[in-house]
A and B are shown apart, each in its own frame.
Chain A
Amino acid sequence: MNFDYTEEQTLLENMVTSFVRDDYDWDTRCSIVKTEEGWKEENWKKFAELGLLGVPFDEDQGGLGGEATDIMIVMEQFGKGLVVEPYMPSIILAGGLISKLGSADQKNSIIPEIISGDRRYVFAYAEPQSRFDLFDVKCSATLDGDNYIINGFKSVVFGAGMATHLIISARTDGDQRSKSGITLFLVDIKSDGITLQNYPTIDEYRASEVVIENLTVSKENILGELGNSYEAIEEQVDLSTIAICSEAVGILQVLKDSTNDYCKNRKQFGQSISANQAIQHRLVDMMIEYEQAKSILYMAITADLSNSDERRKAASAAKARIGKAIKFVGENAIQLHGGMGVVDEYMISHFFKRATMIGILFGNVDFHMKRYTDLTQSNIQSINEDDGINLS
């Protein structure tokens, strides 16, 4: 049993750490989020050069064949720098769907382009009524000769404004909330029938509302089987959930360490505010929440993610528990920074905002608590009335 990184993983960590330190210092990051595009394409090229865009892909496609731990390493360091380039939406989520479902031809033509940085796919799944239910899909695709005609509306699609292509989930069969009948389509983002409304998010990332009107897509551009994509969507969203949990753990570390330093340096009544026990105990509780968050992330990373029930449980356990840690550590980081906590100018509020939005992404605490509960509290055999129980 060990929680050590392999030599390759240590190298990967060092590489991402030095990217964040050298190319993504706080001032640089602030200037990037103020630009019209909201990201820096040069950084994407740098990721390609460093091999980061290939981390999760198979080696025979030119990737690194990385696993959950490798993705965690990248995401945790990106979290510490609040890196806004759409790595998770494009590489982990959309890239994961293509790896999982793509035909040999699709993979051979698309994945090398993703790894080289020439194409970026993002996955348009959420709809105004769907909330966190991945199977709630109104967007429809109807057959017309050799093509499908897609109509619908996709909400809050992260990174769409930076993407070259979309993966769209649309209903080819079944009711709005049926798990069967969902089909994925690969489309060029410049296709007629797609209109993007781009906007910044509260945490300075970028997202888009995507209006789809009579979009024509050839049958060949179906990703995976017709009407049978739900399982794969759920799987890739689970893996992406673990990836953003890793990002959150990186952010929580910054929130906790910065608050610790701030309280040591901030003087009131002639002494550091960290000399007060009320402050000390709060800082200890933040540290405990951080450690517990990191521990449940390690649980998820080392779980048997190839087993679908284990994967579902791991992702929901991690997201629910880390969601609670985000609220506690984040809100207390702001509180202990006092006035400095609430201003835009100082970095702490930015980390808090990003962590809070991660708390919502792919389902909030309540959503994942319910999912975890449903997975772990069915079919329990009840106790015999004659059994005594020993709790001490």
Chain B
Amino acid sequence: MDTAFSSEDLKFQSDVREFISHNYPKELKDSIGTKRKTGKELSRDDLMSWHKILGKHNGWSAPGWPKQYGGAEFSPTQKYIFEQECARAECQYIMPFGVNMVGPVIYTFGNDEQKAKHLPGILSGDVFWCQGYSEPGSGSDLASLKTSAVKEGDHYVVNGQKTWTTLAQHADWIFCLVRTNPDAEKPQQGISFLLIDMKTPGITVRPIKLMDGSHEVNETWFDNVKVPVENLIGQENMGWTYAKFLLAHERSGIAGVARSKKALERIKQIASAEMSYGEPLIQDPAFKSKIANAELELSSLEYTELRTLAKDSAGKGPGPESSLLKIKGTDIQQMVTELAMEAVGYYANPHLGTTLSNEYVGPDYATNLSGSYFNFRKASIYGGSNEIQRNIIAKMVLGL
């Protein structure tokens, strides 16, 4: 057993650290910092400019992609280090929809034209993707989806509604699961995987406001939208296979260990500034013990992730264990956002950055911490709810 980094890994770590310190733009840091402090939404530029910089540097915007598609093809250890360093420097995270979701589907199941057309834009960050999976009546039971695609000559005509489309307001393209065979024996068998240009006539995006007031997700409506047949990935009616492949990829990065670690560090700093019983909150035994509890969960999860990575490097492949990482990772994210809100006491109350408030009150570090707590209730619901993840483990790991 050896968890020390090799000299090559250490060299890589210092390369990444140096690259970030020289290339992460000060303007971006300031722009994001100001918006965080004032509770404002991030712009498309805020979300994508770091991605664009990484895209010009040896495929670092796509750490897991093979080199032949322009990715960095990092080893699992390198991926871990890269994640850690980005979190440490509090870099804006890379939008997962292109790089982690549709990208691997395209290079695994797509044809040469599709690879040539779409992969470069995902890599460079010039094209913003969103995900069209869930529908109002199809959440956990995704295979019951109804959005239909009917083939007419050289295109499909798509009708229906997708929901929870994250950041669709910025998106250029959407990847969609659509029903191409309503009469299939099983619902999974009649589904296809389509790439759709968001500028196509007939698409309407309507914002859904979340309980923290943020505009993160949308409804996306399709009214006789014409999609060229060359935008079909793989074979017609085989979309469920590609969808499951994508979901396993989605879950593997979802633990967010490095980000939660950084957040806990910040919470400890906040708790040293906040007072309770006349002493810094960090001295309060009850609060201290909650922090320690979160740290222990995180430390265990970090080693669970490392064990998975080690198995991964040995070519054994990520399995249904990724469901475990999703469950515990999101548990911890929720623990952390709750602790942060708790740390600031009364200053959890002000809701700043709305059209009703121009004045800023309280310490800057307190802004929107309650918003994050409310927002992160989503984490145990999205990407397959944690109950669904338990069903997956029960079936695939425990053989129940």
Q: Categorize the interface residue count of chain B.
A: 35 or more
Contact mask for chain B residues 247-289; partner A; CB cutoff 8 A; 1 contact, 0 none: 0000000000000000100101111110000001010000011
Which chain B residues lie closer than 8 Å to A389 at the CB level? 36, 263, 266, 270, 340, 365, 369
The answer on a CB contact under 8 Å between A383 and B282 is: no
> Given contacts A2-B1, A260-B398, A377-B268, are A372 and B304 in contact (CB under 8 A)?
no
A390 on interface, CB distance cutoff 8 Å: yes
What residues of chain A lie closer than 8 Å to B272, measured between beta carbons? 380-383
Q: Contacts A377-B291, A389-B365: A291 and B269 contacting too (C-beta < 8 A)?
A: no
User: Which of B37, B273, B295 touches A382 (beta carbons < 8 Å)?
Assistant: B273
Of all chain B residues, the one with the shortest Cβ separation from A296 is: B300
Asked if B336 and A295 sit within 8 Å, CB to CB, the answer is: no
* Count of CB-CB pairs between chains A and B under 8 Å: 173
CB <8 Å contact, B33 and A1 = no
B90 interface residue (CB < 8 Å to A) = yes
Among candidates B32, B36, B269, B297, residue contacting A383 with C-beta atoms closer than 8 Å: B269
Q: In the complex, A386 Cα to B30 Cα: how many Å?
A: 13
Q: Compute how far the CA of A235 lies from the CA of B306 in the bound complex, rounded to whole angstroms.
A: 27
Do the beta carbons of A372 and B273 come within 8 Å of each other? no
Q: Are A373 and B289 in contact (CB under 8 A)?
A: yes
B372 within 8 A of A: yes
Chain A residues whose C-beta falls within 8 Å of the C-beta of B292 in the assembled complex: 320, 369, 372-373, 376-377
* Interface hits, A364-381 → B, CB 8 Å: 369-370, 372-373, 376-377, 380-381
| Interface residues of A, dominant DSSP | helix
CA–CA, A3 and B312, complex, Å = 12
A101 interface residue (CB < 8 Å to B): no
B161 CB, min distance to chain A CBs, angstroms: 27
Given contacts A369-B293, A380-B268, A383-B266, contact A392 B372 (CB under 8 A): yes
**Contact between chains at B300 and A274 (CB < 8 Å):** no
Contacting chain B: which of A75-83, A154-162, A280-288?
A280-288
> Contact at A383–B301, with CB atoms within 8 Å?
no
In the bound assembly, the distance between CA atoms of A274 and B399 in angstroms comes to 10
Given contacts A1-B309, A277-B391, contact A382 B303 (CB under 8 A): no
Inter-chain contact A274/B289, CB cutoff 8 Å: no
Chain B's nearest CB lies how many Å from the CB of A388?
3
Interface size (A, Cβ < 8 Å)?
Answer: 50
Q: Is A15 an interface residue (CB 8 A)?
A: no
Q: Is the CB of B369 within 8 A of A391?
A: yes
Asked if A191 lies at the interface with its beta carbon under 8 angstroms from chain B, I say no
* Contact status B306-A291, CB under 8 Å: no
A146 at the interface (CB under 8 A from B): no
**Known contacts A3-B307, A274-B400, A298-B303, A388 near B296 by CB under 8 Å:** no
In this complex, what residue of A is CB-closest to B291? A377
Tell whether, in the assembled complex, residue A288 and residue B328 are in contact, meaning their CB atoms are under 8 Å apart: yes
The answer for the CA separation of A292 and B375 in the assembled complex, in Å, is 26
Cβ–Cβ contact B387 & A1, under 8 A: no
Known contacts A296-B299, A389-B266; 8 additional CB pairs below 8 A are: A2-B2, A284-B398, A292-B328, A302-B3, A320-B296, A369-B293, A382-B280, A391-B376
7 closest Cβ contacts across the A-B interface?
A388-B37, A382-B272, A295-B303, A383-B269, A382-B273, A280-B394, A292-B300
15 A–B contacts, CB within 8 A, in A order:
A3-B1, A3-B306, A260-B398, A280-B390, A292-B300, A299-B300, A321-B296, A369-B293, A370-B289, A380-B271, A385-B273, A385-B363, A386-B364, A391-B266, A391-B336
